[in-house]
């Protein structure tokens, strides 16, 4: 997968505090991620809750929790990848497999001008410690699952 472009419709990204290091989206946001083969169109509705970059305040020393609009978009798209969808029977699934979600975040951060070694460090941390967040719901998972959509479109050659 090769990342080609990221478009954010209607910037800037506006949030309010939702809790301890969590933030609630204040307006609708559309993020389009263009790879060499697909376009990922994320639509995020007001009320979606994100922590942008996970990790405690100590991690802030190495990489910002918020950063630029492009960094924020990368973190929000990754949070969506980790947010499950639920069937009427309550079964949960993800639209994007964890390995791809983590690799896409790394590429998006590099596109956002995060140093490659920092993006790689985040990727490795997710590989080592991110499984629980991908597999287990948090306080916002069910509500968040109703506040986004993700369309994956094949690029025409």
* Sequence spans of domains, the chain: 3-154
CA–CA gap between residue 143 and residue 155 (Å, rounded): 31
**Cis omega before residue 12 (within 30°)?**
yes
Let me know: does 34 contact 3? Beta carbons within 8 Å.
yes
Q: Is residue 29 scored above 70 in pLDDT?
A: yes
Residue range 37-82, pLDDT digits in tens: 999 999 999 999 998 877 666 666 777 767 899 999 999 999 999 9
CA gap 25, 39 in Å, rounded:
23
- What is the pTM (predicted TM-score) of this model? 0.91
What's the pLDDT tens digit per position in 87-121? 888 888 999 999 999 999 999 999 999 999 999 99
């Amino acid at each position: 997968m090769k990342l080609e472009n990221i478009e954010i419709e209607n910037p800037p990204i506006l949030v309010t505090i939702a809790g301890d290091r969590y933030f609630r989206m204040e307006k609708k946001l559309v993020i389009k991620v263009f790879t060499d083969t697909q376009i990922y169109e994320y639509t995020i509705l007001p009320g979606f809750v994100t922590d942008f970059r996970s990790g405690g305040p100590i991690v802030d020393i190495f990489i910002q929790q918020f950063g630029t609009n492009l960094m924020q978009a990368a973190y929000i798209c990754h949070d969506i990848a980790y947010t499950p969808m639920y069937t009427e029977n309550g079964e949960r699934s993800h639209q994007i497999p964890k390995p791809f979600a983590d690799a896409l975040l790394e590429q998006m951060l590099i596109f956002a001008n995060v140093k490659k070694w920092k993006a790689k460090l985040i990727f490795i941390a997710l590989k080592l410690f991110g499984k629980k967040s991908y597999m287990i719901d948090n306080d916002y998972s069910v509500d968040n699952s109703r506040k986004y959509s993700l369309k994956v479109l094949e690029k025409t050659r």
